[in-house]
Amino acid sequence: MLSEIERRELEDAVKSYPDKRGAAIDALLTIQRRRGWISDDSLLEIAKFLEVTAEDLDSVATFYNLVFRKPVGRHVAFMCDSISCWIKGCEQVQEQIKKLYDVDLGQTTSDGRLTVLPIACLGQCERAPAVMIDQDVYGDVTPEKIEQIVEKYK
Amino acid sequence: MERPLTQHIHPDGTTRTLREYVKEGGYRCLERLAAGLAPKDVQRLVTEAGLRGRGGGGFRTGTKWSFVPMGPDAPKPKYIVANGDEMEPGTFKDRVLMEGDPHGLVEGMILAGYAIDAEIGYIFLRGEYHLSAQRLNQAIAEAYAEGYLGKPLPGTGFRFDLHLHASAGRYICGEETALINALEGKRAVPRAKPPFPQTVGLWGQPTIVQNVETLYNLPHIINHGADWYHRLSRTQDGGTKIYGISGRVTNPGWWELPLGITARELLERHARGMADGVRFRGLLPGGISTAFMTEEHLDLPMDFSSIPPEIGRLGTGTMIILDDQTCPVGFVLNLEKFFARESCGWCTPCREGLPWVAKLLTSFEAGRATSDDLSLLEMHAKWLAPGHTFCGLAPGAMAPLQSALKYFHDDFERHITSGGCPWSRKSAQRRILV
Ligand SMILES: Cc1cc2nc3c(=O)[nH]c(=O)nc-3n(C[C@H](O)[C@H](O)[C@H](O)COP(=O)(O)O)c2cc1C
Ligand code: SF4
Ligand code: FES
CATH of the domain at B209: 3.40.50.11540
Q: B216 and B246: one domain?
A: no
User: At how many degrees (to 10) do helices B348-366 and B328-342 cross?
Assistant: 150
Q: B364 and B311: one domain?
A: no
Residue B5 lies in a domain: no
φ, ψ (nearest 5 deg) of residue B28: -70, -25
Query: Matching CATH topology for A4-63 and A75-150?
Result: no
Q: Which of B418, B27, B7 is nearest to B219 (CA)?
A: B27
Residue B396 lies in a domain: yes
Q: What is the pTM of this model?
A: 0.97
Last residue of a domain, one of B169, B198, B231: B231
From B346, B352, B356, B357, the mutation candidate for ligand 2 (largest count of ligand atoms within 8 A of CB) is: B346
At residue B1, the pLDDT reads 82
B95 in ligand 1 pocket by Cβ < 6 Å?
no
The b-or-e profile of A127-151 (16+ CB within 10 A means b, else e) is bbbbbbbeeebbeebebeebeebbe
Q: CA-CA distance, B185 to A49, in Å (whole number)?
A: 14
At residue B153, the pLDDT reads 95
Last residue of a domain, one of B323, B348, B369: B323
Q: Which CATH code is given to the segment(s) A4-63?
A: 1.10.10
Q: CA-CA distance, B285 to B154, in Å (whole number)?
A: 43
Contact B236, B219 (CB under 8 A): no
The residue of A93, A125, A141, A146 whose CB has the most chain B CBs within 10 angstroms, and thus the best one to mutate to test that interface, is A125
Atom of ligand 2 nearest to the CA of B345: 7
Q: Does domain A75-150 have CATH number 3.40.30.10?
A: yes
Inter-chain touch B187–A135, beta carbons under 8 Å: no
Q: B176 and B258: one domain?
A: no
Give A64 to chain B, closest Cα distance, Å.
5
Inter-chain touch B246–A64, beta carbons under 8 Å: no
A82 in ligand 3 pocket by Cβ < 6 Å?
yes
Count residue pairs from A and B with Cβ separation < 8 A: 139
A128 in ligand 3 pocket by Cβ < 6 Å?
yes
How many domains is chain B partitioned into structurally? Answer: 3
Q: B187 and B77: one domain?
A: yes
Q: B338 and B223: one domain?
A: no
Domain residue ranges in chain A: 4-63, 75-150
Q: B316 and B348: one domain?
A: no
Contact B338, B293 (CB under 8 A): no
Contact B89, A82 (CB under 8 A): yes
**What is the C-alpha end-to-end distance of chain B, expressed in Å?**
34
Residue B196 lies in a domain: yes
- Per-residue pLDDT, averaged over A116-145, amounts to 98
Q: What percent of chain A has pLDDT over 70?
A: 100
The residue of A86, A87, A93 whose CB has the most chain B CBs within 10 angstroms, and thus the best one to mutate to test that interface, is A87
Contact B173, B179 (CB under 8 A): yes
Q: B261 and B349: one domain?
A: no
Inter-chain touch A17–B185, beta carbons under 8 Å: yes
The residue of B91, B125, B128 whose CB has the most chain A CBs within 10 angstroms, and thus the best one to mutate to test that interface, is B128
Q: CA-CA distance, B165 to B85, in Å (whole number)?
A: 10
Q: B57 and B170: one domain?
A: yes
Q: CA-CA distance, A61 to A63, in Å (whole number)?
A: 5
Give B186 to chain A, closest Cα distance, Å.
6
Low-confidence ranges of chain B (pLDDT < 50): 428-434
Residue B1 lies in a domain: no
Q: B345 and B406: one domain?
A: yes
Prior bond of B195 cis (ω within 30°): yes
Q: B263 and B395: one domain?
A: no
Nearest to B342 among A22, A25, A120 (CB): A120
> Which residue range(s) make up the domain with B304?
242-323
B209 in ligand 1 pocket by Cβ < 6 Å?
yes
At residue B424, the pLDDT reads 87
pLDDT in tens, A80-125: 999 999 999 999 999 999 999 999 999 999 999 999 999 999 999 9
At residue B317, the pLDDT reads 97
Q: B87 and B192: one domain?
A: yes
CA of A130 to the centre of ligand 3 (A): 6
Inter-chain touch B89–A88, beta carbons under 8 Å: no
CA of A135 to the centre of ligand 3 (A): 16
Q: Whose CA is nearest to atom 28 of ligand 1?
A: B175
Last residue of a domain, one of B231, B263, B289: B231
CA of A78 to the centre of ligand 3 (A): 11
Q: CA-CA distance, B349 to A39, in Å (whole number)?
A: 33
CA of B246 to the centre of ligand 3 (A): 9
User: What CATH number does residue B259 fall under?
Assistant: 3.10.20.600
Contact B82, B210 (CB under 8 A): yes
User: At how many degrees (to 10) do helices A24-35 and A4-14 cross?
Assistant: 150
Q: CA-CA distance, B361 to B415, in Å (whole number)?
A: 10
At residue B427, the pLDDT reads 54
Residue B236 lies in a domain: no
The letter for the amino acid at B42 is V
Q: B195 and B290: one domain?
A: no
Nearest to A121 among B89, B127, B182 (CB): B89
> Is A12 touching B (CB cutoff 8 A)?
no
